[in-house]
Amino acid sequence: MPLLWLSIAIMLGIVVASASLLSSSVWVALAAFGAGAAILEVHFLRSRHPLINHTLFRVPVGLIILCAALGGLRFQSVFPPPSLETVAWYAPAENITATGSVVSTPLRYAHATAFIVQTETLTFEEVSTPVKGYIRVVMPAGYDISYGSRMALEGKLEIIEREELARIPTQGTAAVSAKMAYPTLQRQRGAGGRPLRAFLYQLRTKLVTVIFSLVPFPESALLSGILVGVEDAIPDYLSEAYRITGTIHIIAISGFNICIVIYFINRFSRLIKNRLISLLSALGAIVIFAMLVGAQAPVVRAAIMGAIALPGKLVGRKPIGILTLAIAAAGMALHQPLILWTVSFQLSFLATLGLLIMADPLLNWCANALGRALPGIPAEKLSPFLALVIPTIAAQFAILPVLTALDQPISLITLVANFLILPLQPWILVTGLLALGSAIIWLPIGQLVGIFSWLPLYACNQIVMRLSIQPSAQVALPPAFQPVITLAVLLCLLFFSAYQMIGMEKSIQHQTTKKVK
């Protein structure tokens, strides 16, 4: 599994680069050293190399060093030295005018609307200069703006610190280097951005309008978040109820929803007899759907994992979950290194890691324990209950370090809430997509099908609202617990990772022995 260790090395290099003051020349020297060492290891030490010959590694140390150095170089490329051609050179500055176009989906909060502008020129002290870079712009709540809009912004230009930058959803753009709060905005003719992405964003806006005509509010707002990732209209009281019950992942498009979509895409693509055309069709559908719903971190992670797993499934090979997760995370980090520090990525990555390495062992252990304690109950009757409870426990446990670091209260009813509403999600997604597709053909048909979507949506909302008002629905942990929880979760993840690795090693050795025989 060389790709696993190389992916980890890339992410480790990015983390080290963020915490060190190493220059680019040092990283280049490390990369050259790693490349040279890898060549020497393969040519002269191959037969007796401890890692190259190990079942689970198969990779020279020099190649790991090379990948770590490439990760460090990639992180430094996000923060190039300021020059007259970069936005950061001019910040901070008063009364500066920037022209450019919106290259992200506007994020609509209760107090503000935020979006990212790719700059073209800056005018300062009556001198206009072509520049490159990205500015985060904050406007009043409800401000009407869309992807691709061209504009001139006049106001105060400020530098964004790395800590603040990590909290900004960049939605696939390069790192933002400056910000402008409530500038004077003047729209300009023309459109910027990428035509395909602009078309998909416009399509998403139209789909949201159709969704709101299918089912009543607030279920329509919830369906909009689940299907196309637009949760702006969900009332605050409903969002708070989902947060309290630990089911906030339900109200927006997430890796769970993407996995269901990928499953159906995979099933339909198999109807195409030509494997290559089937694979390309499935990959294209996954990419378009991910872009349509906004390409947030959980969506991109799930889409990459699905795209990696598809070729293996078409030829009958089972994908290795932890490997696809590592490759997806490394790919996202190479594209945008600061994504490793974003909360959405951390929650998605840790929850998926917990599911991949903890769920199956815990399911087996619990099934065996219950089988011994309750010998009169068949295992088949216990399996559906365990399949709902254990993965939820694994995912919630894995994300505890992030929640405690954010001083977020821990939900005490998340198991009950997830147990009650998770079985409804495939129903909501399938009937919602059918209703939306029918409405595009003829609205009355879509509204008729929408009744079958409204029922589970209404049930979800009622369940979380009633559970959220229960006494002691959540508890705030003292700050002193944070390092203890982080250490405990880390040790558990390391233990289950080692457990899975040992199992994989035995499986590989068994398969090798069978081939030899």
pLDDT digits (tens, 9 = 90+) for 55-84: 667 777 888 889 999 999 888 887 666 777
Q: Give me the residue label for tokens 């980090």.
A: 333
Checking if the pLDDT of 517 tops 60, the result is no
How far apart, in whole angstroms, are the C-alpha atoms of residue 203 and residue 208?
Answer: 9
Token pair, residue 283, equals: 């990959």
Who has greater pLDDT, 307 or 315?
Answer: 307
Who has greater pLDDT, 428 or 316?
Answer: 428
The band of 282, judged by pLDDT with boundaries at 50, 70 and 90, is confident
> Tell me: the pLDDT tens digits for 245-254?
888 777 766 6
Instruction: Provide DSSP, 329-374.
Output: HHHHHHH-GGGGG-HHHHHHHHHHHHHHHHHHHHHHHHHHHHHHH-
Q: What is the mean pLDDT of residues 447-474?
A: 89
Helix H or strand E encompassing 5: helix 2-19
Checking if the pLDDT of 108 tops 50, the result is yes
Contact 34, 353 (CB under 8 A): no
Please name each of the domains of the chain with its CATH number: 2-78 (no CATH), 87-193 (2.40.50.140), 252-341 (no CATH)
**Single pTM value for the model:** 0.76
- pLDDT of 172: 45
Q: What is the mean pLDDT of residues 306-315?
A: 65
- pLDDT of 255: 61
How far apart, in whole angstroms, are the C-alpha atoms of residue 15 and residue 5?
Answer: 15
The band of 295, judged by pLDDT with boundaries at 50, 70 and 90, is low
Helix H or strand E encompassing 81: none
Q: Is the peptide bond before 92 cis (omega within 30 degrees of 0)?
A: yes
Q: Specify which of 52-56, 112-116, 457-461 reaches the highest per-range mean pLDDT.
A: 457-461
